[in-house]
Structure 1
Amino acid sequence: MSVPDNRFVEAVPLSDLQSEGRQLRTLDGVQVALFDHEGEVRAVDNRCPHMGFPLTEGSVDDGILTCHWHHARFELSCGDTFDPWADDVQAYPVEVHDGTVYVDPHPEPDESPEEHWANRLDVGLEQNLRLVTAKAAIGLVDADVDPAEQVERGVLFGTRYREGGWSSGLTILSLLANVLDDLRVEDRKRALYQGNVHVASDCAGQPPKFDQDAFDARDLSAERLKSWFRDTVEVRDPDGAERCLRTAIANDCSQSALAGMLVAAATDHRYLDTGHTMDFVNKACEALDTVGWEHAEHVLPSLVEGLATADRAEERSSWRQPVDLASRLDETFARLDDLVAAGAGEEWTEPDDFTDTLHSDDSEVVVTALEEAISEGATVEELAGAVAFAAGKRVAQFATANEFSDWNTVHHTFTYANAVHQLSQRTDARELYRGVFDAAVNVYLDRFLNTPPAPLPDAGESDADAEQLLDDLLATFDREGQVNEAGRLAAQFLDAGGDPGRLRQKLGEGLLREDAGFHTYQALEAGFAQYDETADHERKRTLMVAVARYLAAHFPTRREREQTFTIAARLQRGEAIHEE
């Protein structure tokens, strides 16, 4: 060829490049680093894919380009990195004609943006690379890929590559998927990034999960499989339990029946793993709502190991002394069918003082009130919602004189109660009543953490600037010890007639910029879920106070993950990270 293809742009005289060894040129808006090395002309994006440092200031030796900022190394001819944490650099096709170097600054990609970023997400998950995962989250959203596809990749990866099964990472990804619509568009990218980063971190260094097979039998009833499943979980036999569950899935048991199997096993003992087990069951079901129940065979078996090995609350002294709460509930559960039968055809209305009753200092008052409610026709869903609010109010009124770790105690009760409430809308399994009692007993056990209760904020000024209140709320997360102020600002925002959606956006913004822990993500999503379950303004207000106070108690953090996301976003926009 004597004339370059019209995609190629004139870059530099070959003689100049050969004499200097490297040149920087801006070609059609792209900064291109050109190198003459070992008799060949090479061209790559001048921005190091790690943090944007100019690669023309790096060094080239033996076909390797090294960035001097963090010593990331790249194979010069194709741009592939030796150091996966840095990511690959874009290489550009080069042609030389009549002593002039030409470069194609916009080469035809080998794959579509959707395929490219999906593949990069897979790499980020497999190798636990935050920067790659962040770029993929941004790239997929910018390519208008349904967020559910990112969630699906993360969920299927997490359930396959973690022998220990479902854990905090998958829970975080699933709950963030639940609140995506509450977030700003930019924060949806952060949410998908944060969720998949936690999945990758959970799986890093873990052996993969190898599946048990379903039984060959296809004529087993759902009730028999449920019975076998519970029996195998009871004796801590995860392999046998997995075969029962997989057989139920292969037999096309309904979503309700599958959820019923899981919640029955999760309530055969009290308050498994301080509530995490039930929350994991709920989140796995919610994840399937997002990614499709056709993936049940991959997702639900990841719960079995946790169910079979969980700590059982009746084995702890707090459930046995000074009151034998576990034995008291056994008495109730022995009469549960009779209580339900007594309430058949009745409609229960929650008494005005029911939250106060659930906050009683007398466990017998609490248990008796629930028994009476069932005999009066209260459904699992109705009681679960009432108990979930009582648990949320404990968080809203948590006394900060307690030890910091006690935030987790009230938090676990709230998220467990929320899980029971959400599952009650998915399955009619009568065993779920037991989850209501477990949650209520834990509300009782948490009573000392509201002694004295932090007062709920007084009604604020109705003419306050709502947007300023939101800015002030976000600012409280920059300083330690702003728990009560955060609760006050959230309440005052609602009192001033502020849009609850804006409050949720701001709370999500505050959460997603932090190196938040597992429980903090749970607190936000459970608060939002329970907010949506009630029409009562005061309850909504109390729940948002609970969320704001919990977040403020755990912020600020180092914000390392946010720094990585910011770098990825700036690189995607073509900014020079090393320059202000």
Structure 2
Amino acid sequence: MQWLDAITLERLDRSGKTIVRHDGGQILLIAADGAIFAVDNRCPHEGYPLAEGALDGCTLTCHWHHWKFDLASGRTLVGEDRLRHYPVRVRDGQVQIDLTPPDRNASRRRILDDLETALRTRRQGRILREAARYLAAGGDHLDLVRHAVAWAHERLEDGTTHAIAVTPDWLALAARPETTPAERLVALGEILGHIADDAFGQGLHPFADDADPKSRSWNPAAFLDAIETENEAAAIHLIRAAPRAGLAADDLRPILARAALNHYADFGHSLIYTIKTVDLIDTLGPGGAAPLLALLVRSLIRATREDLLPEFATYQTVLDAWGRARTDTPALAGASLRGKSVRRVLPIVAGWGARHPPEQIFEALVGEAAWMMLHANASLFDRTDVAPAQSVNWLDFTHAITFAEAGWRVAGETPALWPSILLQLACFIGRNAGFVDAAADASAHGQDDDRASLDRQYRAVFDHGRDRFIISAHVVKTLCAADAMATILPAQAHTLTAALNRFVAAPMKGRHALRAARQALDLIGPGANRIALI
């Protein structure tokens, strides 16, 4: 116990309250209803001095946002965060306050409980405050991420989301030596807030129980078959058996990537999610692997199959014919793909496969994807009179860059996957071809020094100002992927950097209200026009 003589009982009885300053902080001492209470003078919401508040019996009200605290029970009656209370006693006419620091382990456990409440209610301000409190109590910032993933994983009905995929990039940015404490808290807040946003309003979607886990053994072929047949329970049981076979997440990456690339799935997200999930497990450690792998398995099984859509229907046929020479294949140059549909782009890229190393084809495709993002016709993105399939936006262009970075890493481990990676990258190029303005003047987005330009983007990302997590996530993921690609492909660095600059500077609508309403009317049919009579 560290008892501090604060004030005489006689003086406190006369004044009713006083502020005790100690070690840079302020404690509010209050006499109310025959008892004495000591609490932090700063409201736990935004720091307004509680000494300026109102006391009604044992209820203390902060006038800044009308939060109310029950001094007797210690509960927050209106508001969210806990108000710290201090033990008080009277000895020889002196009111004493116990300043013994709280047990850090107990504090961290309580803060994690409070963080769950903040995640469940999607209160971004409180998420930041609880994260800051956890760090102040000596907690590891990675524990906050592990806890949030464990809390959310059965609430994400379709498995992995961008909230998970961007987490390793935010953590990498937080770990940069030049990152300030406030910026590190930004990174944590973006991670935790995005997870909460994706899980908000969802019920629980439990994963299969494994009554006899030791009866299962890791079998890569059976795992791929379970993904292909959409047998989630079998795939979950198999992935849980991998650690018992001595396999770490890095060991699983090739087979997970193969599952992700078996089809043109989820517009390339499947591969991006796979690589980022393994990266995150590497950062969090094996203790965080189980929920992340379960989420990835679910997302692989539930991924949309774009190769079954008419636009991409020739993908599998062209893949099967990879490496066969064609006499009509133009010279290897990204510009030869401009203005061409997916059906026309795929055979050209496959024809290149018969004549050129995959690394050369990859560079041409990445360069073209960056050029397309630099010349994207943003005037088409906000149209309100388009069908859902034509509702293209900036994110469709960024996915080609983030997919390329994931594909490069996979191909380095498993060269046999090059044809799938290159053709899927070609799908992005053909898909986005109709939303490009080749004549647009993009010179304003280039910089004399590409490295300096990227460094400016890194410094600016902590104050991105985006109103939706999905947008800030794409800013961060595209920044990290473009930087990686610029290092790997220095000849494309200038185009990649200029495209990134344009994307980051572009205004983006938070919602497309009129477009969504028109699409709803078109879907429901003529009868829906009766809405005009309401």
- Same fold by TM-score greater than 0.5: yes
Are 1:57 and 1:67, in contact at CA under 8 Å, matched by a contact in 2?
yes
Matched residue of 2:207: which SS? coil
Deviations 1:124-176 (A, max 9, x none): 43554423321243355567765444433333333244344222322333331
Are 2:31 and 2:37, in contact at CA under 8 Å, matched by a contact in 1?
yes
- 1:50–1:377: structure 2 CA closer, same or farther, 3 Å change rule? same
- Residue of structure 1 aligned with 2:319, choices 293, 315, 333: 333
* Other-structure match for 1:39: 34
* Other-structure match for 1:444: 430
Are 1:165 and 1:305, in contact at CA under 8 Å, matched by a contact in 2?
yes
* Other-structure match for 1:408: 395
- 1:387–1:164: structure 2 CA closer, same or farther, 3 Å change rule? same
Deviations 1:390-441 (A, max 9, x none): 323321221233223532332333333333334334x417346323212212
Give, in whole Å, the separation in 2 of the partners of 1:296 and 1:382.
35
Give the CA deviation at 1:288: 1.2
- Residue of structure 1 aligned with 2:43, choices 31, 41, 48: 48
Map residues 92-491 of structure 1 onto 2, 5 A cutoff. Answer: 92-104=86-98, 106-111=99-104, 121-122=115-116, 124-139=118-133, 147-181=141-175, 184-185=179-180, 186-213=182-209, 216-218=214-216, 221-222=219-220, 224-233=221-230, 237-253=231-247, 255=249, 258-270=252-264, 272-293=265-286, 295-317=288-310, 319=311, 325-327=312-314, 329-336=315-322, 354-359=333-338, 361=340, 366-376=345-355, 378-379=357-358, 383-384=361-362, 386-404=364-382, 405-425=392-412, 427-428=413-414, 430-431=416-417, 433-457=419-443, 487-488=445-446, 491=447
Amino acid of the structure 1 residue aligned with 2:147? R
Are 2:342 and 2:430, in contact at CA under 8 Å, matched by a contact in 1?
yes
Deviations 1:449-473 (A, max 9, x none): 222353332xxxxxxxxxxxxxxxx
- 1:143–1:396: structure 2 CA closer, same or farther, 3 Å change rule? farther
Matched residue of 1:179: which SS? helix
- 1:302–1:99: structure 2 CA closer, same or farther, 3 Å change rule? same
User: Is 1:19–2:14 an aligned residue pair?
Assistant: yes
Give, in whole Å, the separation in 1 of the partners of 2:136 and 2:130.
10
* Other-structure match for 1:76: 71
* Other-structure match for 2:478: 526
Give, in whole Å, the separation in 2 of the partners of 1:376 and 1:217.
49
Are 1:229 and 1:245, in contact at CA under 8 Å, matched by a contact in 2?
no
Matched residue of 2:399: which SS? helix
Matched residue of 2:31: which SS? strand
Matched residue of 1:430: which SS? helix
Q: 92-101 or 370-379: which moved more?
A: 370-379
Q: CA RMSD in A?
A: 3.5
Are 1:230 and 1:264, in contact at CA under 8 Å, matched by a contact in 2?
no
Give, in whole Å, the separation in 2 of the partners of 1:26 and 1:78.
24
Give, in whole Å, the separation in 1 of the partners of 2:397 and 2:432.
6
- 1:180–1:540: structure 2 CA closer, same or farther, 3 Å change rule? farther
- Aligned positions, number: 492
Q: TM-score, normalised by structure 1?
A: 0.74
Give, in whole Å, the separation in 1 of the partners of 2:241 and 2:34.
64
Give the CA deviation at 1:363: 5.3
Matched residue of 1:36: which SS? strand
Give, in whole Å, the separation in 1 of the partners of 2:285 and 2:483.
26
Amino acid of the structure 1 residue aligned with 2:161? S
Matched residue of 2:86: which SS? coil
Give, in whole Å, the separation in 2 of the partners of 1:519 and 1:131.
19
Q: 388-397 or 428-437: which moved more?
A: 428-437
User: Is 1:517–2:510 an aligned residue pair?
Assistant: no
Are 2:186 and 2:462, in contact at CA under 8 Å, matched by a contact in 1?
no
Are 2:131 and 2:189, in contact at CA under 8 Å, matched by a contact in 1?
yes
Amino acid of the structure 2 residue aligned with 1:37? A
Structure 2 regions of 5+ residues with no counterpart? 383-391, 512-534
Are 1:396 and 1:542, in contact at CA under 8 Å, matched by a contact in 2?
yes
Give the CA deviation at 1:250: 4.1
* Other-structure match for 1:479: none
Are 1:524 and 1:547, in contact at CA under 8 Å, matched by a contact in 2?
no
Amino acid of the structure 2 residue aligned with 1:526? T
Amino acid of the structure 2 residue aligned with 1:225? A
Q: 106-115 or 192-201: which moved more?
A: 106-115
Give, in whole Å, the separation in 2 of the partners of 1:97 and 1:334.
87
Give, in whole Å, the separation in 1 of the partners of 2:123 and 2:462.
23
Amino acid of the structure 1 residue aligned with 2:334? T
Matched residue of 1:69: which SS? coil
Deviations 1:187-216 (A, max 9, x none): 122011111111122223323342324565
Amino acid of the structure 1 residue aligned with 2:395? N
Give, in whole Å, the separation in 2 of the partners of 1:28 and 1:145.
22
Are 2:153 and 2:292, in contact at CA under 8 Å, matched by a contact in 1?
yes
Q: Give me the identity figure in percent.
A: 23
Give, in whole Å, the separation in 2 of the partners of 1:142 and 1:21.
32
- Residue of structure 1 aligned with 2:502, choices 543, 546, 549: 549
Matched residue of 2:313: which SS? helix
Give, in whole Å, the separation in 2 of the partners of 1:382 and 1:300.
33
Structure 1 regions of 5+ residues with no counterpart? 320-324, 343-350, 458-483, 559-580
Are 1:385 and 1:533, in contact at CA under 8 Å, matched by a contact in 2?
no
Are 2:119 and 2:196, in contact at CA under 8 Å, matched by a contact in 1?
yes
Amino acid of the structure 1 residue aligned with 2:404? A
* Higher RCO (C-alpha 8 Å, min separation 6): 1
Amino acid of the structure 1 residue aligned with 2:301? A
Give the CA deviation at 1:378: 2.7
Give, in whole Å, the separation in 2 of the partners of 1:335 and 1:257.
30
